[in-house]
Structure 1
């Protein structure tokens, strides 16, 4: 009896777990098909929303390390994360300082968020805010917006020590501000800055902060406009959030030649930098550190590949992976610029020796650890990515053409084998000098006219024989 009851309960549970799919009336199906194109175009043309990392990346073995905040939760998605609760106390202190220095009261700043909550809420995917009332979201955006602006300003002016925030918390918080799931609408920052007496100073601090996170060699350098390469098109648009602002600054302006590039696509046959070097291709830093500033020049039997300088530290992995995740968001139409750069760099790096060549050329600054760790990092980031084949087509086609030109490879190999050190060069020059002197001596002995002394000697010899 007990066994029958158990079987019956199992059957009930099984039926409940099965989803019954019922067909739609034909008229409703046809209506949905007819309206689908219009809905899809509206979805794709809308401003990208702040959302979770796309599902295709959520199975990453180090998902928590790369995509979730470790010190401070910004916005609604990770607000209740236990390990970020300590930062909530610092947020209130930072917000208080921002309100004090803004020159207006907390009520004014709170009201401007309240008056725009409908627009600000639409900046998020519905799933991100569904458990928040409007009032709760207003308070969250108000505190997070004020504290974020004050953190950035104090960070760039070396004033965070006054808030008793430890160095490790500062480092993690800086990294957390560029996670896809940890973003505030840029409109929140803009609204709060508009009411502050330090509006221009705060705006400059944001851009300095973003610039610092592109290259950390000069950690607190003031923001400078990067000289732009020729043939570039500059589009200025309001960023969606700090991560998009980082992406825009990191990629730099789009080259106008990229849109009309008609280079014949050649399948890549080289596997890494070592093979390029053996073919006479050398590395040099580009004039700027923007990711689009990659070029290749072929000179006689040698070639020069220009790559933007990059600093590799603990923050690089999360930064690039979140930029890639942003480019993969379904409502963000883009050229996959960061994804394409990572794929291009991954195609050059296989082993630690490739990283060593990048370091020697001044292209890569290793602040992470061993060259092997850097190689593994880029190989990990570049796994299962689909680049935009048009982005570097001109560069890769010219690289491949040079690489497959045999006489250039032979000449490069000859020079590498025989002129790879100063001593071999000196020896070669010595041989040339000896051959030159020997040739001059031979020519002189054959071509020079008889000397008067030679004639006198011949005459004397002749007279002595006669006698």
Structure 2
């Protein structure tokens, strides 16, 4: 014990001496001086070193080939699983990958730091080149005029625009677990490859819509995978290439080609909005959808995946009329005032309201919420019958084998956008994960005509949404947060839950309704008979 006290006294003396020494050094007129490294450190903070990189990420987020930091982690498992093509590789990333692997084939196969899937992809990409040449040749024969039988004018225009096209492509690609400079591909070579890919895409779309891909030896299964490949994040070319090719096709084919591209985008997405279905009979309508103005894309970084994303955002119909929004805000403010100062303070309200966690379609149904398909594409919630029941409207959605890849690529695309951009697909995925927990939830949505399940079972669909929801981060701006809050408000009304559960228990089946009607009828007849019996006796007595 004495030894321990001695040690503590020694330590306290040392600490006390150190403090006295520091104070003495400071008070003796010898203040601590900052050296050049300290000044450099403070200057870096002042000028904001590191901010340029983040702002650069927002700028490069639209460019083909750019990946945010979160998608590069864990050996690019996310990117390989969802964002790389399986059968139809196109774009500068494929060109760069093939060149890197082919020049260093043996080295790449022996390099343990390189994912073997990169080598396998490069080998598959080389095999697909013959198919791309066949598709491109068919397009040139069918759609280019006779005075340009081999597409010379279109290739010349592509080479003229290659400087601008290269600006739409990120200057490095994330391959081999590191960044690779894509300057290994020269301007002329890049122009030729973009020309080939553009013709391939257009002919594939034409043949797909006319069921003519069997001519190229493409089976139904491979066809479905190729359609998915055209909307992969890491399998894109600037849409400006497509626009340039359209300028040099036959004049009578211009409108038909544009219309087919729009129909192709609409047919491959799973959301439905009846108000956006059109015939696209005019050039102006087609150009407006494809973001074409005066022969050029309005957006500098447009490609097929971004067009699909824009269409889905329109399907959700997120925009709202300013006048309608103002009225809603005023009504909400008035309701909040009355609720806070009058309703919420009453004992009756406190007894009939209380927080309760609900997190599935079945639980929401027990709270009096019904699910219905939305014709205008909006996700909305509205209370009815004195706030006892509620309607949740959702856009009809088709679940099939390609749903996961499509949604994850759209989510990855939204992750590449600036922070102030809306993320409707990520918001929708998180919302569906909020609703779906088990296969019974999928069954209820399917019966309500909100979901069309083309998978083998409802359990597979529930698993799909749960997996996607767990792999996605919460969006910066949740487009459907107001709907979640309205649902939670509905679920906080105890009296509504009691009435809904009573109705579900006693009136959900037509047999219980008939039984109640029969019992009521029997009681009414019995009461009538009793009344007349008593009344007749009283009359006789009188």
Asked if residue 126 in structure 1 is aligned to residue 171 in structure 2, the reply is: yes
Selected match of 2:89 from 73, 80, 83: 73
Selected match of 1:48 from 62, 80, 84: 62
Distance 1:29 1:200, change over 3 A: farther
In the alignment, which residue of structure 2 is the partner of 1:295? Answer: 380
Greater shift, 203-212 or 62-71, is seen at 62-71
Distance 1:448 1:148, change over 3 A: farther
In the alignment, which residue of structure 1 is the partner of 2:101? Answer: none
Distance 1:286 1:146, change over 3 A: same
- Please state which structure has a larger fraction of its residues in helix: 2
Structure 1 length as normaliser, TM-score? 0.80
In the alignment, which residue of structure 2 is the partner of 1:256? Answer: 320
Selected match of 2:257 from 173, 188, 202: 202
Deviation sequence 1:210-260 (CA, Å, 0-9, x none): 11111399xxx9x9339xxxxxxx999546111011111112143226987
- Cα distance in 2 for partners of 1:175, 1:332 equals 27
SS in 2 for 1:304: strand
Greater shift, 442-451 or 412-421, is seen at 442-451
Selected match of 1:98 from 139, 143, 152: 139
SS in 2 for 1:254: coil
Distance 1:267 1:424, change over 3 A: closer
1:427 to partner: Cα distance: 0.4
- Equivalences, count: 419
1:441 to partner: Cα distance: 3.5
Report 1:167-206 matches (<5 A).
Answer: 167-197=220-250, 198-206=253-261
In the alignment, which residue of structure 1 is the partner of 2:516? Answer: 428
1:444 to partner: Cα distance: 4.6
The answer on whether the counterparts of 1:53 and 1:180 sit within 8 Å (CA) in structure 2 is no
Distance 1:42 1:417, change over 3 A: same
Selected match of 2:487 from 399, 411, 415: 399
1:354 to partner: Cα distance: 1.1
1:368 to partner: Cα distance: 1.9
- Cα distance in 1 for partners of 2:160, 2:419 equals 27
The answer on whether the counterparts of 1:45 and 1:333 sit within 8 Å (CA) in structure 2 is no
The answer on whether the counterparts of 2:423 and 2:478 sit within 8 Å (CA) in structure 1 is no
Gaps (5+ residues) in structure 1? 1-21, 227-233, 459-467
- Cα distance in 2 for partners of 1:63, 1:43 equals 18
Structure 2 length as normaliser, TM-score? 0.70
Asked if residue 247 in structure 1 is aligned to residue 326 in structure 2, the reply is: no
The answer on whether the counterparts of 1:175 and 1:319 sit within 8 Å (CA) in structure 2 is yes
1:82 to partner: Cα distance: 1.4
1:442 to partner: Cα distance: 4.1
SS in 2 for 1:199: helix
Deviation sequence 1:285-306 (CA, Å, 0-9, x none): 1114x4xx10112112221111
SS in 2 for 1:48: coil
1:161 to partner: Cα distance: 2.0
1:91 to partner: Cα distance: 0.9
Gaps (5+ residues) in structure 2? 1-35, 99-121, 174-181, 280-287, 292-297, 337-353
The answer on whether the counterparts of 1:53 and 1:326 sit within 8 Å (CA) in structure 2 is no
Distance 1:191 1:424, change over 3 A: same
SS in 2 for 1:305: strand
Asked if residue 139 in structure 1 is aligned to residue 192 in structure 2, the reply is: yes
Distance 1:87 1:46, change over 3 A: closer
- Cα distance in 1 for partners of 2:529, 2:504 equals 33
Selected match of 2:401 from 306, 311, 314: 314
Asked if residue 109 in structure 1 is aligned to residue 194 in structure 2, the reply is: no
- Cα distance in 2 for partners of 1:205, 1:274 equals 41
SS in 1 for 2:508: coil
